Each structure stands twice: as C-alpha cells, then as structure tokens.
Structure 1
C-alpha cells in the first residue's frame, strides 16, 4: 500500500480521519458570488477540501455537433458537449479569488485540470494536489504532466478497466508521483447504491499499492459512510447550495446540511472502527453491574443444602459468575442466607 502523505499539512491515510472533498463542479451556475458562498458552505460543513474543475470548453472539447458531440441519455440528454462545458466551467480568472477565500476560511482548495495549460496554471497558483477525473484516467500524458509537479494525485476510476487503472498508475509513478489515492467510482449521475460495488475499493489498494477512497455519485450519505467502514481514506462528494436552484450537477449533489452530516457521519464511522479490542472501555463501566450473577432468591438456614429454589442466575452482577451454579448447588449454606443477597464463596460450606 502507498505510504500515508499530507495535502496542505493534513495527513491522509488509514490511521487518519477520512479526508472529505466537497466537489463544487459547475454548481456555481456562472456566478462568482455563488462560488464563494459554496466555499464558505463547505468550510462551515467541516469538509477538508473544496475542489474546482479547471477547463474551458475549448480545452476539453471542440465546438461541434456531429456524432458523439451531443449527449445521448442520462442527466444531460440532448446537450452539446461544448455548450454544457461553456455553462459548467469555472472561469480561470475566478481561481485566485476562490483559492484566497478558501485559505482565509481554513479549507484547502485544489482542482481537476483537464489539459496541460490548466496543470501549469494551477501549479503556479499553488494548488497542493491534483485530481484526475474518471473520464481523464485514460489520458496518460495528462496524468504524467500532473505527476511531474511532484504533487499528490487523487485519481477516480469510473468506467476504468483494471488495465486502464494499471496504465494510469504506471504513468503517474514513471513521471515521479509518490503520493497516490485511487477513488473507486461508478460514473452514473446519479448511481443507485446497488451499483456501487464498494468491495472493489479494497481490491484497488491490493492490486495497485495505493491508498483508496470513494468518489460518490449516489444520492444521500449512506454509501460514503459504508466506504469509510471499508477503509476509505478519501471521500469526494458533489455539493450545492440548493438542488432547487438547478445547475449541471445539482440533481445528485448534497445541500450544505447534508454535507455537514456526511462529514460528521464519516468521521464517526472512522472513529468507530478503532482496533481489535476486548478490554472493557470507559463507556461500559457502569454497565458491568447489570450482567447476570448468582443470587440467593429464598431465605436459607445455616446448614441447609442449596437447591435451585434457593439460588438463581439473575441480574444484577454482584454475585458469583453463573458458571459456578452447579459448583454451589448441593452444598450447605455456611450461615443464614437472606433473599436478595449476592452469593459469595464464603456463604457456601
């Protein structure tokens, strides 16, 4: 497995709380004030990072309406790629202001670059990491360009075959990447929980020797919490200010209160994992006395032989352990015994 590492000083690894990335995507709806409000909402929700996407329509596609350039099916049915990306992109001249606001609020900002000019732009802006989107995982020259900066790479694996993933990881490592996370991802928008196949996530770590996490396009928060229980070090989730406001990704994005719940629940899930531990913990101490034990349930005269009419296993737990029941039955009482007394060895002859 890849070594633990840090992004902007925040350690990431199995022994750390899950690193929660709030994906803004195009949910700013072309309004920089809304983009700034999204960063504020992510910080208030407790996310570790807010992620942008750095492209223009011209760096990610071409202005064309021929076969393949008009989306068939799904959330964006009938949209031309160029028009969709024109609408959804985050203007590059916003980036310095967005990064500055994030720094002021104490939340890390970084981005997914979609061509080498975006890599250079983000590197000069001081982005502490890069995200490789699922659709770009097959672009090994672009991955190599990111890796050459020496910054951590977080790579989503939606639609990728094992061979695709091996080539992407190989390209990243050959170009010098040391710090890698593979995010299991199902590239459906949204994806039903039944199609998430979270057990794949651990296999990614085993096969490719990286840290692992989840890029979650399911509705709600349950799938992300389950992923943490299965070992996710990173959780990425789209978010918006309000789904009713619309936007390219709003239909499968969390609202701020849901993002806050995701952060809390993911961290609770990680804390609950703990380690292999059989000793009593602090929270259990008050409960110990409620375990079963042997009690005198009828008055017994000294010398009288104890029977099941005299001694029973009941709550609370102040008497002998129930396993000693047949050690004391048939023995004489060492003194007068009163109903309600916890049984002790010195009370048996």
Structure 2
C-alpha cells in the first residue's frame, strides 16, 4: 500500500509529521539576482523549510507571437503578451547554481519546477534532489513520465485538474517505479479567494490516492494555510468542526 509519508532529504513529510513549508520565489526577484538571494534568506528567517524556483525560458514555454491568442485578456497579467511575460518572469538558468549554493549556506532546501525535458536535464546536472510538477503541467504526461523516471521525490499540484487527470498522472509516476510523491490541493486563481478554495478536498485527495496531500496557496495572507493545517490536525485527532 502507498505510504502517507515521503522523505525529502532528511525530512519525512506526511501524516503525523511537522508541516513542511515551501516558499515560492517565482518571479518575485524581478530580474535582480541580489534580490533573489535576499528572498532565500528572508524565507529562511520566516521559518520556511524550502525555497522553490521555476526553470524555463520564454522559448520553452511559448512562441514569440503578437496575435490576440498570445495575449492575456484578464486577471493579474491583463494585456501582457505571453512571450514578453515569460521573458520578464523567468529565473535565468545561469543563476540556478548560485542560488542553490546560497540556499545550502542558509540551511534551507532548494528545488524547482521544470516545464520541459531540457529543464529536467539541466536540474539533474545541478544535482537537484526533488521536483515540483505545476498544476498546468499535470496533463503533460510525457514530462511527468520523464521526471518520475529520475526516481526522485515529486510534489505535484492539482489545480484545474479533474479527478481522472490526477489519476492518470499518479499512475504514470507509479509506472516508472516511483512511489515517493505527494499531491497539493491547489486553486489556480491569482490571487485565490479563501472562500472558494474548498480545503476539504485535501481529505478527499488523501483518501482517494492514499498519499501525503498539502496545499498550494495563492491566496492573500495566511488564513488559508493555517486553516488547511488546522483541518488536518482536527482529522488526525478525530475532532470535527
């Protein structure tokens, strides 16, 4: 039977274990390497266990096209051209090694979300010890298969995915002989609205797939994250609220 715990480096994560907190750097460095380093240390000081980045280039994500289909029509990035947005938001690959070293010096785990096979190969060369699969990539079965074949722990977000799509991704990971993975409940809205996040889905995912399940949180503030942890603790102690 699949374990409800996984091991990342020297930490067990899952049922009965302390909460493992990942700080997402994403594009918050705003193209400034020194700011990226500051974010790593701020995450450590705030109590995070891990810092995560994303590994892609504009050319691995989209094409340089200005037609209307390549423009964002609403939300946080309304009016942006996709290629230009990814160009501004990506973390340069030449930074990755130095950021990993900085995280190690700070005493915080470091990993990344790859968006294509070339990014996986690059992260393998860096010696990254575990992987994130983004919600948008949960239907990219060839990419999931390739990541799983590295036999390293995987944290996979499930935003927008149907139960069937999650099941297919889970089965692909298992088929590569990799049972060291967990799922994240995720609402793919930026920012997400706490009232619409349906945190009880965490329990459903855990019961359905019998793996550790956490929260990928895009909401403002800390209420959603606190409630997710509180709900989990209530279940473990048979306290129903």
TM tier, shorter chain? over 0.9
Structure 1 unmatched ranges of 5 or more: 232-269, 278-349
Residue 157 (structure 1) aligns with: 158
Counterparts of residues 101-120 of structure 1 (less than 5 Å): 101-120=102-121
Counterparts of residues 4-153 of structure 1 (less than 5 Å): 4-153=5-154
1:20 Cα deviation after fit: 0.3
Shift of the 103–199 alpha-carbon distance from structure 1 to 2, 3 Å rule, reads same
1:150 Cα deviation after fit: 0.5
Match of 1:110, SS state, is strand
The one-character-per-residue Cα deviations of 1:21-73 (angstroms, maximum 9, x if unpaired) are 00000000000000000001011111000000000000111111224311111
1:198 Cα deviation after fit: 0.4
Residue 186 (structure 1) aligns with: 187
- Matches of 1:5 and 1:85, distance apart in 2: 32
The one-character-per-residue Cα deviations of 1:101-148 (angstroms, maximum 9, x if unpaired) are 000111000000000011111112111110011111110110111101
- Matches of 2:208 and 2:99, distance apart in 1: 37
Q: TM-score, normalised by structure 2?
A: 0.94
- Matches of 2:47 and 2:6, distance apart in 1: 20
Count of residue pairs brought into register by the alignment: 238
- Matches of 1:223 and 1:128, distance apart in 2: 28
Match of 2:219, SS state, is coil
Match of 1:30, SS state, is coil
| Conservation of the 8 A alpha-carbon contact between 2:71 and 2:82 | yes
| Conservation of the 8 A alpha-carbon contact between 1:2 and 1:180 | no
Counterparts of residues 215-230 of structure 1 (less than 5 Å): 215-230=216-231
- Matches of 1:46 and 1:229, distance apart in 2: 18
Shift of the 4–131 alpha-carbon distance from structure 1 to 2, 3 Å rule, reads same
- Matches of 1:196 and 1:99, distance apart in 2: 32
- Matches of 1:179 and 1:38, distance apart in 2: 28
| Conservation of the 8 A alpha-carbon contact between 2:97 and 2:126 | yes
- Matches of 2:16 and 2:8, distance apart in 1: 15
Q: In angstroms, what is the RMSD of aligned CA positions?
A: 1.6
Residue 210 of structure 2 corresponds to residue 209 of structure 1: yes
Residue 251 (structure 1) aligns with: none
| Conservation of the 8 A alpha-carbon contact between 2:135 and 2:157 | yes
- Matches of 1:182 and 1:276, distance apart in 2: 22
The one-character-per-residue Cα deviations of 1:142-167 (angstroms, maximum 9, x if unpaired) are 01111011011111111111111111
Match of 1:214, SS state, is strand
1:179 Cα deviation after fit: 1.0
| Conservation of the 8 A alpha-carbon contact between 1:132 and 1:154 | yes
- Matches of 1:215 and 1:166, distance apart in 2: 18
| Conservation of the 8 A alpha-carbon contact between 1:184 and 1:198 | yes
1:100 Cα deviation after fit: 0.1
- Matches of 1:92 and 1:84, distance apart in 2: 17
- Matches of 1:273 and 1:141, distance apart in 2: 36
- Matches of 2:129 and 2:16, distance apart in 1: 21
| Conservation of the 8 A alpha-carbon contact between 2:4 and 2:210 | no
Residue 340 (structure 1) aligns with: none
Q: TM-score, normalised by structure 1?
A: 0.66
- Matches of 2:104 and 2:181, distance apart in 1: 24
| Conservation of the 8 A alpha-carbon contact between 2:6 and 2:182 | no
- Matches of 1:169 and 1:88, distance apart in 2: 29
Match of 1:197, SS state, is coil
